[in-house]
């Protein structure tokens, strides 16, 4: 399935997953949580996920390197500061947290559980190919970074 590597822009994948989660929640039953707590959790996770994603983008911009996830070979510097000290993929982590919030908002355990599919897809078809490209560009520096910083959390 190498043909899927670096093909679907992660933001587009988030929208596909939102549609999938909505479809699941409409057919697989709901948890029965009141609207107000669901909205509060969704709002909180949206705020946190936006902050995490923004921190990742700003760190890339500060280093003047590409944020284009489809072309990791265009990277001009290895970002290890800011939020990148804690996670190698803050933008993807933020997207996953946002999807968890969507699953809570949709009031569906199946929708929430499907975020695991997003994480697995992103790891296999986006992150691992990015890591290969970055290893070619930055060599031992990137290998050392991978040893000291977790992929997700």
Judged against a pLDDT cut of 90, whether residue 4 lies above it is answered with no
Residue range(s) defining the domain that contains residue 95: 35-67+75-148
Q: Which two tokens stand for residue 143?
A: 């290998």
Q: Which residue has the tokens 């929430």?
A: 112
Rounded to an integer, what distance in angstroms lies between the CA atom of residue 105 and that of residue 57? Answer: 26
Mean pLDDT of all residues in 51-61: 97
Mean pLDDT of all residues in 39-56: 98
Domain membership flag for residue 114: yes
Domain membership flag for residue 139: yes
The pLDDT score that the predictor gives to residue 61 is 95
Judged against a pLDDT cut of 90, whether residue 3 lies above it is answered with no
Judged against a pLDDT cut of 90, whether residue 29 lies above it is answered with no
Quick: pLDDT tens for 5-20. 999 999 999 999 999 9
Domain membership flag for residue 3: no
Domain membership flag for residue 94: yes
Number of domains in the chain: 1
Domain membership flag for residue 15: no
pLDDT band at 115 (very low <50, low <70, confident <90, very high): very high
Quick: pLDDT tens for 66-78. 999 999 999 999 9
Domain membership flag for residue 30: no
Domain membership flag for residue 117: yes
Rounded to an integer, what distance in angstroms lies between the CA atom of residue 25 and that of residue 36? Answer: 18
Domain membership flag for residue 22: no
Residue of 87, 149, 123 whose CA lies nearest to 13: 123
């Amino acid at each position: 399935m190498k043909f899927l590597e670096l093909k679907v822009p992660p933001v587009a994948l988030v929208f596909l997953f939102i549609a999938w989660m909505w479809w699941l929640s409409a057919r697989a039953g709901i948890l029965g949580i009141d609207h107000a707590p669901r909205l509060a959790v969704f709002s909180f996770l949206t705020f946190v996920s936006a902050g995490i994603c923004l921190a990742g983008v700003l760190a890339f911009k500060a280093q003047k390197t590409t944020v284009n996830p489809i072309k990791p070979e265009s990277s001009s510097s290895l970002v290890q500061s800011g939020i990148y000290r804690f996670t190698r993929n803050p933008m993807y982590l933020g997207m996953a947290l946002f999807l968890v919030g969507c699953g809570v908002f949709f009031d569906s355990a199946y929708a929430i559980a499907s975020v695991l599919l997003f994480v697995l897809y992103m790891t296999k078809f986006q992150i691992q190919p990015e890591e290969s490209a970055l290893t070619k560009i930055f060599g031992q520096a990137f290998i050392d970074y991978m040893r000291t910083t977790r992929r997700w959390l």
